[in-house]
Chains A and B, each alone.
Chain A
Amino acid sequence: MAEPLFRMARAEALRIVHLDSFVAVFHRSSGLTHLLAAPAPEIMATLGEAGLTRVALAEKLVADFDLEDLDDAALAERLDELVACGLVAAA
């Protein structure tokens, strides 16, 4: 069975404003605004609209950032949060 692909919501459906240590994301499809703290914005940007599997996401985060921890459970939780609020879709 193929691994699910996680992808960021379509960029045109989002209005993103950077606020110092937060990123405010208005999601036009749901009419909701989300306040994101690290590492959520980085995860969204890394996934992009093309999407990545969870394993590929972890590998890319390791390559792109100086990760202080690579806790699979924590990454899964961050990803679940983004899926639950609709900013990331799993397919």
Chain B
Amino acid sequence: MSEKGEHEGNRRPATTRRRALMLGATGAVAVVSIRPALAQTAASVAHCEIPVPDAGRAGSYVAADGSLVAPGTTGAFPGPGHPLKGEDVKNALAGGQLPGTTADQSRAYTNYIRKLQSGTSGFTCFASLQMPRG
């Protein structure tokens, strides 16, 4: 039994030596979420608003996939004309429909909201809608 042999044995790659994994006892926790300062209370989630499209691109139409396109583009929708309410967006993200819109229109707006990035107005509201409860 050589030193070299032992060394190689210890460094056997994962493909030949399967890693042990425990799913854990029920009740254990494997995920801890860190909330940034922008986390809002449940009450404010219902009242925050998301402009569609955001003020910087007001007048653009929203295509079915949620991208912003030139006004008048076929198959795209003009903005709803008023900011969408957090509570309505939350319902729409969960599979519901935005009030006062057709199914296609609601889907286009929801797709736009899903693509919101940090720095776009409405992002903070969207992010807080996604906060885990509790």
Tell me the residues in window 18-44 of chain B with beta carbons closer than 8 Å to chain A beta carbons.
Answer: 18-36, 38
Q: Please, which residues of chain B bring their CB within 8 A of the CB of A56? A: none
Closest chain A CB from B13 CB (angstroms): 14
Determine if B26 and A73 form an interchain contact, defined as CB atoms under 8 angstroms apart. Answer: yes
Q: Which residue of A lies closest to B38 (CB)?
A: A31
| Interface size grouping (class) on chain A | 20 to 34
The answer for the CA separation of A37 and B30 in the assembled complex, in Å, is 5
Determine if A61 and B130 form an interchain contact, defined as CB atoms under 8 angstroms apart. Answer: no
Q: Which residue of B lies closest to A72 (CB)?
A: B23
Q: Which residue of B lies closest to A87 (CB)?
A: B31
Which of A31, A35, A73 is the most central at the interface, judged by chain B CB atoms within 10 Å of its CB? A31
Q: Please, which residues of chain A bring their CB within 8 A of the CB of B34? A: 32-35
Q: Please, which residues of chain A bring their CB within 8 A of the CB of B133? A: 84
Count of chain B residues with Cβ under 8 Å from any Cβ of A? 29
Q: Please, which residues of chain B bring their CB within 8 A of the CB of A28? A: 117-118
Closest chain B CB from A79 CB (angstroms): 10
Q: Please, which residues of chain B bring their CB within 8 A of the CB of A77? A: 24, 26-28
Q: Please, which residues of chain B bring their CB within 8 A of the CB of A61? A: 21, 23
Q: Which residue of B lies closest to A63 (CB)?
A: B18
Q: Which residue of B lies closest to A73 (CB)?
A: B26
What are 13 pairs between A and B in contact, CB < 8 Å? A29-B130, A30-B131, A31-B127, A35-B34, A38-B21, A39-B22, A40-B30, A61-B23, A67-B21, A71-B23, A77-B26, A78-B30, A86-B130
Chain B interface residues (CB < 8 Å from chain A): 18-36, 38, 114, 117-118, 123, 127, 130-133
CB-based closest 7 A-B pairs: A65-B21, A40-B30, A30-B130, A74-B23, A66-B18, A33-B34, A31-B127
